[in-house]
Amino acid sequence: MELHQLTNNVYYFQSSVNIGYIRFSEREGMLIDAGLESQTMKKVLRKLDENDLPLTHLFITHAHADHYGGADHLQKNRKVFTMAPSFESAILAEPMLEPLYLFHGTNPMAEWRNKFLEGKPVQVDMVLTEEGEVELGDTKFTTIALPGHSYHQFGVIINDILFASDAYFGKDIIHKHGIPYIVDAQLTIETLEKIKKLPCSGAVPGHGSYEADFIATIEENIMVHHQVEAMLRDLISIEKAGIPFEQLVAKACLARKITIRNVPSYMLFRTAVTAYLTKLMKEQKVSFQVKDNQLMVESSFE
């Protein structure tokens, strides 16, 4: 884990999951996200202490465990004022909600409640319902709504630097995933287009590297999402009588060279495929039908 300084008071910890840091004054500083687990947070706190950087606030961009899993350790060991977007805050308070929705409301078995899907509960002191300016003492920053990957994900803008969280991924990461995890394909694309118009001098994704010129990476993300959508349309269109939904998930993963190795991973890809299909359904390009007690996906054009 490396600490990179981007401006006089803006930093980020580069790792498999990036963590932002802003020094607002000699006495106030804020982390943006908390990493996957306590070991990650221990390293962050050690780096901050070594560099005499204050820590008084925590902003959690969205309620996926790799971005908040270290918050429990932080809150137990430091006095921090914690903020998060609405809805995401509900999941932070009750983390079992994530495996619960991934497994269709079924009480998730213990092996499905791993650290990647469920962190420890987080105490949120301020719930943010709308994007905009946040001012608390010396702490001043701007939030920006970036939904699509998660329901109510917020990014942070400070000193013309955008902390975009998982609104987009580094080029290598977006291709590595094959089918990126999203919950709303239309909002994902709209968010990417929104980021392109932001007056920023650089951006930090949740996974990947800081880039001053990040537009090409945003375009690469948009391209991948369109590729997945087109692939799904092709797989559906060649099946004149429709294709069973679960079979479509399997074929889509095969087409994107994905090998699913466990049940939680399957549920993540299933959710992502459903998100793309929902966009296509709204555009009246595909439809869901029930035939012979199976959920079928059919083309609804031409």
More confident residue, 301 or 1: 1
Q: What single-letter amino acid sits at 185?
A: A
pLDDT in tens, 243-262: 999 999 999 999 999 999 99
Alpha-carbon distance of 184 to 171, in angstroms, equals: 20
Q: In what side-by-side order are the strands of the sheet with 243-244?
A: 243-244, 294-299, 286-291
Tell me what the mean pLDDT of segment 186-202 comes to: 97
Helix (H) or strand (E) holding 46: helix 38-50
* pTM of the predicted structure, to 2 decimals: 0.95
Residues 6+ apart with CB under 8 A from 176: none
Which tens digit of pLDDT belongs to each residue from 53-65?
A: 999 999 999 999 9
pLDDT above 70 covers what percent of the chain? 99
Checking if the pLDDT of 52 tops 90, the result is yes
Average pLDDT over all residues of the chain: 96
Report all structural domains of the chain as residue ranges with CATH numbers, in order of start: 2-167 (3.60.15.10), 224-299 (1.10.10.10)
On the question of pLDDT at 230 being above 70, the answer is yes
pLDDT of 187: 98
Residue 1: the pLDDT is: 87
pLDDT of residue 302 exceeding 60: no
pLDDT at 21: 98
Instruction: State yes or no: pLDDT of 39 exceeds 80.
Output: yes
Is-contact 30 139, C-beta < 8 A? yes
